[in-house]
């Protein structure tokens, strides 16, 4: 069957009287709206997943998967070495502005074609016919592999943070790389099991996690405001450092931008849940922009607070815990228990509270959906 005849076949099947009646029944069964049915018909797809997500649960999914203020703390060491506190603050603002433009474009495309395929489908629609298939295939695989790598990186951060707490609380503990590997495997396995067997609970838990994500922000912020010493504002906002050995401070600052780039990624994650969102063409774009705005704001407040209370940059980046923010928590509270609780808030928000939030748990949700879409389009390796 040629591509043209195949398309005509899809249109014929999805616009006839029987198809319309089936669409009404399917819409009621899958909890979709008339707009959802029309979008799926325009995309040439059949609704197969229940549309359990509403605005709050979609926003919770995107916000917790971004976990901006938590990731900003976890990845701060790289920016502190390459730019210092001034580099971290101004670099964050620079990257946030750029990401808002990207997310606005993604939100617009999501409103026109809310499909779980996301970027690879949009590239297919907008690319010239001569390169449409090739470029769409490449973008689809880059997206899928990016999600897979993202899951591994987040699980690695969680596992090594747990090791950091062990170092803090047990002077006899020796930091071993293979300990971290086992913790990474345990975190990844937990998140995959949850997404496999408890997927129906995902929307409810994402809404709960959004609440914990916001409350946890204040649970960390307030102790730093009250207990931590204040740095000189002029030094915090204007002194750029080059501790990475780069030829110039400017180059060091640009290298340090990797921290805020990693911190702010993910507001588009909800795109891959498009076919599980009720009234997706309206809810999804709003959730993307709200997630980018809310998380970006929380992250900026946390970055400024962290930079203003960390004390000596050299002291905190050389901490035996491996994470400067853990050392800053301890310097502020002077309590192993208090530091452990504050760090546990970060770990829980990232691993899943106690089920899925940001990263490892929401990440497999997005990873599995994007992989499924590639499979549906026969784009997986050896699928033909």
Q: What percent of the chain has pLDDT over 70?
A: 75
49-58, 256-265, 374-383: least confidently modelled range: 374-383
Which CATH number characterizes residue 93's domain?
1.20.1740.10
**Cα dihedral angle (27, 31, 35, 38), rounded to 10 degrees?**
-30
Among all chains, which residue has been given the structure tokens 């923010």?
A: 325
Residues 6+ apart with CB under 8 A from 214: 298
Q: For residue 261, with 0-12 CB atoms within 10 Å meaning exposed, 13-18 middle and 19 or more buried, which class applies?
A: middle
pLDDT of residue 370: 55
In whole angstroms, what is the distance from residue 382 CA to residue 97 CA? 40
- Look at residue 11 and tell me if it is in a domain: no
- Look at residue 30 and tell me if it is in a domain: no
Residues 323-342 have a mean pLDDT of 94
In whole angstroms, what is the distance from residue 250 CA to residue 234 CA? 19
Give me the sign of the Cα torsion angle 43, 47, 49, 53: positive
- Look at residue 245 and tell me if it is in a domain: yes
Alpha helices, DSSP H only, in the chain? Answer: 3-15, 17-30, 34-43, 55-66, 68-74, 76-81, 84-112, 119-126, 132-169, 177-197, 202-227, 233-238, 249-256, 258-264, 280-309, 313-317, 324-333, 336-351, 362-376
Of 251, 235, 290, 291, give the one whose Cα is nearest residue 89: 235
8 Å CB contact between 234 and 227: no
In whole angstroms, what is the distance from residue 17 CA to residue 294 CA? 45
- Look at residue 34 and tell me if it is in a domain: no
- Look at residue 223 and tell me if it is in a domain: yes
Residues 296-315 have a mean pLDDT of 94
Spacing of C-alpha 69 from chain mean position: 11
In whole angstroms, what is the distance from residue 111 CA to residue 228 CA? 45
pLDDT of residue 49: 63
- Look at residue 7 and tell me if it is in a domain: no
Q: Which two tokens stand for residue 190?
A: 């937990």
8 Å CB contact between 290 and 105: no
pLDDT at 355 over 80: no
Q: What percent of the chain has pLDDT over 90?
A: 37
pLDDT of residue 95: 96
In whole angstroms, what is the distance from residue 322 CA to residue 76 CA? 11
pLDDT at 262 over 80: yes
pLDDT of residue 7: 39
In whole angstroms, what is the distance from residue 322 CA to residue 73 CA? 12
Residues 235-241 have a mean pLDDT of 94
Residues 29-40 have a mean pLDDT of 63
8 Å CB contact between 86 and 239: yes
**In whole numbers, what is the pLDDT of the chain averaged over residues?**
79
Q: Which domain holds residue 136?
A: 54-376
3-state SS class at 53: strand
pLDDT of residue 360: 40
In whole angstroms, what is the distance from residue 53 CA to residue 278 CA? 6
- Look at residue 298 and tell me if it is in a domain: yes
In whole angstroms, what is the distance from residue 359 CA to residue 184 CA? 13
- Look at residue 10 and tell me if it is in a domain: no
pTM for the structure as a whole: 0.79
Of 310, 153, 160, give the one whose Cα is nearest residue 232: 310
pLDDT in tens, 116-153: 777 877 888 888 888 888 888 888 788 778 877 877 88
8 Å CB contact between 277 and 59: no
* Counted domains in the chain: 1
pLDDT in tens, 35-74: 666 666 766 666 666 667 788 878 877 777 788 899 999 9
């Amino acid at each position: 069957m040629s591509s043209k005849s195949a398309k005509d076949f899809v249109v014929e099947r999805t616009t006839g009287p029987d198809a319309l009646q089936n669409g009404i029944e399917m819409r009621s069964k899958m909890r979709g709206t008339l707009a959802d049915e029309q979008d799926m018909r325009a995309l040439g797809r059949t609704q197969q997943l229940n549309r359990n997500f509403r605005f709050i649960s979609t926003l919770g999914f995107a916000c917790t998967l971004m976990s901006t203020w938590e990731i900003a703390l976890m990845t701060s060491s790289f920016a502190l070495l390459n730019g210092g506190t001034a580099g971290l603050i101004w670099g964050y603002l620079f990257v946030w502005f750029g990401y808002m433009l990207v997310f606005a474009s993604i939100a617009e495309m999501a409103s026109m074609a809310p499909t779980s395929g996301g970027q690879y489908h949009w590239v297919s629609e907008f690319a010239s016919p001569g390169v449409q298939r090739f470029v769409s295939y490449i973008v689809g695989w880059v997206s899928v592999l990016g999600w897979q790598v993202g899951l591994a990186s987040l699980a690695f951060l969680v596992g090594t943070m747990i090791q950091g707490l062990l170092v803090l609380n047990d002077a006899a503990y020796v930091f071993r790389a293979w300990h971290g590997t086992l913790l990474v495997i345990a975190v990844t396995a937990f998140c995959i099991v949850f997404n496999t067997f408890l997927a129906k609970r995902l929307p409810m838990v994402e809404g709960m996690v959004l609440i914990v994500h916001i409350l946890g922000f204040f649970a960390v912020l307030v102790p730093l405001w009250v207990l931590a010493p204040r740095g000189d504002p002029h030094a915090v906002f204007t002194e750029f450092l080059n501790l990475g050995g780069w030829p110039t401070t400017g180059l060091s600052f640009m290298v340090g931008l990797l921290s805020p780039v990693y911190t702010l990624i993910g507001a588009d994650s909800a795109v891959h849940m498009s076919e599980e969102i009720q009234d997706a063409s309206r809810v999804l774009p709003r959730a993307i922009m709200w997630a980018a705005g809310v998380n970006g704001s929380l992250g900026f407040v946390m970055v400024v607070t962290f930079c203003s209370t960390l004390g000596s940059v050299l002291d905190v980046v050389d901490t035996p815990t491996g994470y400067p923010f853990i050392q800053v928590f301890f310097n502020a509270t002077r309590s192993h228990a208090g530091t452990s609780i504050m760090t546990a808030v970060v770990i829980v928000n990232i691993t899943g509270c106690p089920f899925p939030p940001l990263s490892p748990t929401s990440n497999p949700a997005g990873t599995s959906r994007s992989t499924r879409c590639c499979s549906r389009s026969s784009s997986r390796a050896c699928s033909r």
